[in-house]
Every structure is written in C-alpha cells, then in structure tokens.
Amino acid sequence: MSMPSTFDGDDETQHWPAAGKRSIREVDFFSSERRGWPEDSASAPPKEIPAHEDHKLALLSVGPCEEGDKTIQPSDLHLSNTTMTNWSLKIKLDKLKDENRKLRIMLDCANQSYGALQTQLALLKQEEVLKLKNTASSIDDDPRKSLIAHSCKNIRPASLSDPETDRDSIPIDKHEVSVRRPRVSIRARTDAPMISDGCQWRKYGQKLAKGNPCPRAYYRCTMRAGCSVRKQVQRCPHDEAVLVTTYEGSHNHPLPAAAAALASTTSAAAAMLVSSSTTNPSSNLPPPLFTDHQQLGTSILASYSYSSACPTVTLDLSRFPSWNPPNTNCYSMMLPPPPVFNSSSISRDLHDGQFPGHSPSTSSMTEAVKAAIDTDPSLTSAALAMTISSVLKANPSA
C-alpha cells in the first residue's frame, strides 16, 4: 500500500509533531542553551542569524531574558545603531513568525478535533443502528421499523462463518466497513476524465455497466490507510458530457481546506436523507431536498434514489453553464457517518414534485443559489456548494 507524496491534509496533520518539537526546543532553550548565550553574545549578535536560532530571538523579544537574578537587556550588548535596527526588525519578524506558528498550531488542532469528532459520530451512529436493528427484529408490522430491519440485512460481516451469531462480537469499526451506506452522487458537465476533489484516489477496478458504452471506474481513497471512502466515476449514458461521480463512505482523516465546501454540502444532503426518514415516520418517502428553480433558467436538481441496497442523494450540477472546466475542479466529498435505514425499491425524482404534500415551489435553497449566481456569475462550484450547504443547514425543510 502506498501513500501519496503530496497531500495537503496529511501535511497539515504532520505539523503536529513538528510543532511539538519546536515547542520542546523552546523549553530546552530556557533550560540549557540559554545559559551560555549572554557570554557568547558579549560582542554584537551575528548579522545573519541562522534559522534554528529564531526561537531565541523570539523569546528574547517577548520580555527581558533572565540569567539567575540578573536581567539581560539588549542595551547591555554593545551594538551599533544599524545592527540594532536590523536586530529590532528581526525581532519583530520573529514575533510575527511565532504568532503565525501558533495560529497554525491552533488550526491544526481544530482540524484534528474535527476529524476525531467525525469518527466518534460515526461510531455512535453505528451503535444506534445496531440498537435499532435489535428493536426492529421483533416488530414486523411497522413499516418504518421493517425498513430498518431490512437495511440491516446489508450488514455483511465478511469472512465470518456465522454472521448472525458472530455479529455482536465484531468491533463497530468493522461494521462500518461492511455497512451499505448512503451515497452521494454528483453530476457535472465537464470534459475532464475525473473531477479533482482534493483527495487522493487509487483506481482499483473498471467495469462496463450494462446500457452504458462508457466504462465505470472504481476508486478508493488513499489519503490515509484504512479510509473507507470509495467513488465511482462514469459518463452519463444519455449525455456523455456529463460526468457522474458517486461517493460512498466516510473519510477517517481531515480533508484539505479546499475540499471542505462540497464536503459540507454532501454531508448536509445525506444528513437530510437520513433525518427525513426518522422525522417523518408516517411516510416511507423522504421529503425533497430542494427543487428545480425554473426562474433561474438553469436548475439545481436533488433527488433521492432508493436502489435495492443503497439510498442515494444525487446533486445535479450539470445544468450550470458556468460550471464547465476549470470550475468543476474543486469538488470534495466527505460523507457523514453512514446510518442505514432504508432499502426499499422505490426510486423517484423530486424535481417533478411527485411527492404528495411536498410542493415543488420555490425553495430557500434555490433563492439562495439564485442570489449567489446573480451576485457572481462566475461562481465556482465550491462557492455554490457553500451556498447550498448553508441553506441546507439553516433550513432543513428547504
């Protein structure tokens, strides 16, 4: 198994140990290195200060440096005016660098925490699914619980002799690997063979799907070992200019910053898919995410598709003329923890307003998108994704 050599996200996380080392050096400076410095600096400090000496200056700039009971001030050193000026500038620069470094550490910390929370959420949701499964096993006349029970058939403890009896002994994370999770599919009009979404992928298979002359390619995420996210890339059989990218699974690592926007969007979309099944128990069908906006001239289309095993959210972005390359090169996926809840064989497009009680009228979603496009006709996909995401979060019923 190989790891990509260039990965912003991993690079981000790798700053942690580096930052730790730098922090230790600062402590070491106080404990040992500092002791010899005043004597060594009886003459003027060097004009060219080695990079590894930066921390000394930064610390000195924060306040007086103490040697035992004696306080060492810069003026105690015999320096020429020019050297003092340079030194002062250097000190200011070092302070800024130090501040930068601290901010970077804080950012890394936030990223790490976010990744950890995502993992925790995945585990909690998996446990919830298992609990629901156990509850549902004794009830067969409630349609909603039957759906849950049905979905649990898709839990496949691979390579176990007796899945039924062994299931409870399997660690949760193994369940996550085998669970059929909701998918998010994105349709985008592009000539590129594959949209660049900020992640590293390795192709592991290719198939000719029936009814489509274009092969379907299978990729798995290689940004971190054990990441379960996979994606399928395929040209639309009806319009080969449209590239259909389907994501499945949840990343076990922080994503590059550039990947955050659409990740947020798809997370919200899939979360909607999930919550709709739990907040609307009277109906087996979820409400629409959002609908066509005919006034736009273009339209955003979101649809649920319940195949035999995998509920799928489709975001049709192919109708945005401005989304031709190069703007289609900033998609990103990070699916939410994968709750399993439905596997009915119903497939419907929502833009037709086929759901009773769910009007295809103008939604806040499309209003927001329209406003965004009006504001900036050259809107990038990432920016538009953020708009969609924010509306989904602010108005779950949109």
Site residues (vs DNA, CB under 7 A): 2, 4, 153-154, 156, 158, 201-207, 209-211, 216-218, 222, 230, 232, 308-309, 343, 345
Question: What gap in Å lies between CA 113 and CA 332, rounded to an integer?
Answer: 20
* Three-state DSSP state, 387: helix
Instruction: Write down the least CB distance from residue 382 to DNA, Å.
Output: 23
Min dist. Cβ of residue 374 to DNA (A): 38
Q: What angle do CA 265, 185, 281 make, to 5 degrees?
A: 75
Q: How far is the CB of 293 from DNA (least distance, A)?
A: 30
- Closer by beta carbon to DNA, 222 or else 252: 222
E strand spans, the chain: 65-67, 70-72, 183-189, 201-208, 215-221, 230-235, 242-248, 301-306, 311-316, 347-348
For residue 44, the 8-state DSSP code is P
Residue 208 has what DSSP assignment? E
Nearer to DNA (CB atom), residue 72 or residue 194 = 194
Shortest distance, position 204 Cβ to DNA, whole Å: 5
- DSSP secondary structure of 317-371: -TT-GGGSTTTTS-----PPP-------S-EE-TTTT-STT---S--HHHHHHHH
CA angle, residues 95, 96, 101, in degrees to nearest 5: 95
Q: How far is the CB of 177 from DNA (least distance, A)?
A: 9
* Closer by beta carbon to DNA, 57 or else 223: 223
CA angle 348, 331, 328 (to 5 degrees): 95
C-beta of 185 vs 328, nearer to DNA: 185
Closer CB to DNA, 102 or 202, in the complex: 202
CB of 398 to DNA, least distance (A): 29
Q: Which is nearer to DNA, 70 or 153 (CB)?
A: 153
Shortest Å distance, C-beta 383 to DNA: 28
Minimum Å distance from CB 343 to DNA? 7
Q: Which is nearer to DNA, 70 or 202 (CB)?
A: 202
Give me the least distance between CB of 165 and DNA, in Å please.
16
Q: Which is nearer to DNA, 9 or 287 (CB)?
A: 9
Task: State phi, psi for 126 to the nearest 5 degrees.
Answer: -60, -40
Contact between 262 and 382 under an 8 Å Cβ cutoff? The reply is: yes
CA atoms within 13 A on the CB side of 253: 23
State how far the Cα of 55 lies from the Cα of 13, in Å rounded to an integer: 22
Among residues 312 and 387, whose Cβ is nearest to DNA? Answer: 312
Amino acid occupying residue 53: E
Residue 137 near residue 149 (C-beta atoms within 8 A): yes
